Structure 1
Amino acid sequence: MSSEASIEVWLDEMSSLVPRFVAEFEARHGYPPGEHYVARSTGRSSRDALAAILCDRSARNLIEFYSYVACVSLPDVGPGFFIQEAEEVVSGLRGAQPTCVSGPPDTPIVVFGSDGGGALFAIDRRTGAVIRLAGGSLLGAAYEVGKSELQVVARGFLEFLRSLRDGLE
C-alpha cells in the first residue's frame, strides 16, 4: 500500500475514532477530555511550501501527510500529541524550531509536533525515525540532549501515525 493510501485510510479511521474516544472519555476517566480533532487539509499551498524546503526522502511521508491533514490535537492520548500545521513546520525549518540534535554526530531533524508539555516530536532526516526530544537545551538551531532526553518513538512517520490510531482504540 502506498504512503498516500495509508494516510487516507489513517485519516478515515481517525475521523471515526476521535468522536468515539471523546464520547467515552469522561465516563472512563472521571474528568472531561481536552479538545481532540484531526483537521482535514483544505489546500496544498502550505504542503507545497514544505516540500520546496524539505526534499529529503526521509520526510516524504510527512510532506504527503499535509496533503490530507492540516493538524492534529490529541491532548489525552498518551502524553498528548499535537501535530503542527505545515506553516509551523516551515517556520521551524527557517529557525523557529531546532533543526539538528547536537552530539557526535549532529543529526538533522524537522520538528513537526509536541506533547503539550515541552517535548518535541521530530523526524530524524537521516533515518526517517520519529524521535521525542525532552529536557534538552536549545542553542541556536541545535537541540542539545543527553541519551535519556532523546527517545525513538517510531521507525518512521507512518508507524508514528499508526501508534496514534492505536492509542485511540
Structure 2
Amino acid sequence: MSERSLSSAWLSSWARAVSGVLGEMTEEFESRHGFPPGTNQMRLADHGDQETVRVLGSEARASADLVTFYGSIGEVSWEDVGNGYFIHPPRDVLEHFAVYGAVRAGERQEPCGLVIGSNGGGLSYVVGPEGSVHRTRAASLDDAELDRVADDLRDFLQLLEQSLARFVATGEPGYL
C-alpha cells in the first residue's frame, strides 16, 4: 500500500472533518441563502454497501481505493454545495456498470472506468482502474470526453473537502 492509498483511518479522519464543516454550513444555510438546506450528508457504509463493494471489486474490477472507500463511506450527498456534489452509493455504481458497462477513462482505449458520482450540473465522475478520477465535459456519457481532475481518490476527496470549505467561506465551490 502506498502512502497515497486510502485507509479506513484516513477516511474516518476525512469524514469527521467534512461532517463538521457540513454541520456548520447547514446551521447557517437558511440565514445566508434565504431558503432551507436540502440533503447535505455523508452516509457511512452499512452491511449492504460492504456486500455490494465486494461484487464491484470482483466483477467491475474497481480500484483498491474505491473498494476501501465504499467499505467505509456509503454515499456522499451535498445538494447545496454549489450545484451539488454526489458520490453515488455502491449499488448505484454496480447497477450503472451492469446496464451500461465501463466508461473509457484516462489513456486506455478500452472501457475500464466506473461512474461513481455526479454534480448537480449533470457532469459525471469516473474512476479509472488505477484510481485516477475524471469528470465528463458534458452531461452525456455516450462517447464522453473526460478531463482528469485527480490523480487518485484521496486527491479527489481532498478537492471535495476544499470545495466545501470554499463554499462555506465564500459561497463559491470552485471548479470541481
TM-score (norm 1): 0.80
Structure with more relative contact order (C-alpha pairs < 8 Å, separation 6 or more): 1
1:159 aligns with 2:159: no
- Separation in 2 of the partners of 1:69 and 1:104? 28
1:93 aligns with 2:93: no
Greater strand proportion: 1
Relative distance call for 1:123 and 1:86 in structure 2 (3 A) is same
Amino acid at match of 2:156: F
- Separation in 2 of the partners of 1:118 and 1:48? 28
- 1:131, 1:151 within 8 Å by CA — same for their partners in 2? yes
SS in 2 for 1:87: helix
Q: Residue in 1 aligned with 2:27?
A: 23
1:130 aligns with 2:133: yes
TM-superposed CA distance for 1:19, in Å, is 1.2
Q: Residue in 1 aligned with 2:15?
A: 11
SS in 2 for 1:144: coil
Q: Residue in 1 aligned with 2:171?
A: none
Amino acid at match of 1:153: V
Q: Residue in 1 aligned with 2:170?
A: none
- Separation in 2 of the partners of 1:66 and 1:46? 9
Deviations 1:71-118 (A, max 9, x none): 11012224421111111111122124x512389834521100111332
SS in 1 for 2:31: helix
Computed over aligned residues only, the root mean square deviation of the Cα atoms, in angstroms, reads 2.4
Q: Residue in 2 aligned with 1:108?
A: 112
- Separation in 2 of the partners of 1:15 and 1:63? 21
Tell me, which stretches of 5 or more residues in structure 2 are unaligned?
Answer: 166-176
Relative distance call for 1:78 and 1:157 in structure 2 (3 A) is farther
- 1:26, 1:32 within 8 Å by CA — same for their partners in 2? yes
Deviations 1:24-62 (A, max 9, x none): 223333433321010111212122222222335xx2111
- Separation in 1 of the partners of 2:34 and 2:121? 22
Note the 1:29-48 alignment, pairs <5 A.
29-43=33-47, 44-48=50-54
1:50 aligns with 2:46: no
Name which of structure 1's ranges 129-138 and 106-115 shifts more when overlaid on structure 2. 129-138
Q: Residue in 1 aligned with 2:172?
A: none
- 1:118, 1:134 within 8 Å by CA — same for their partners in 2? no
Amino acid at match of 1:55: R
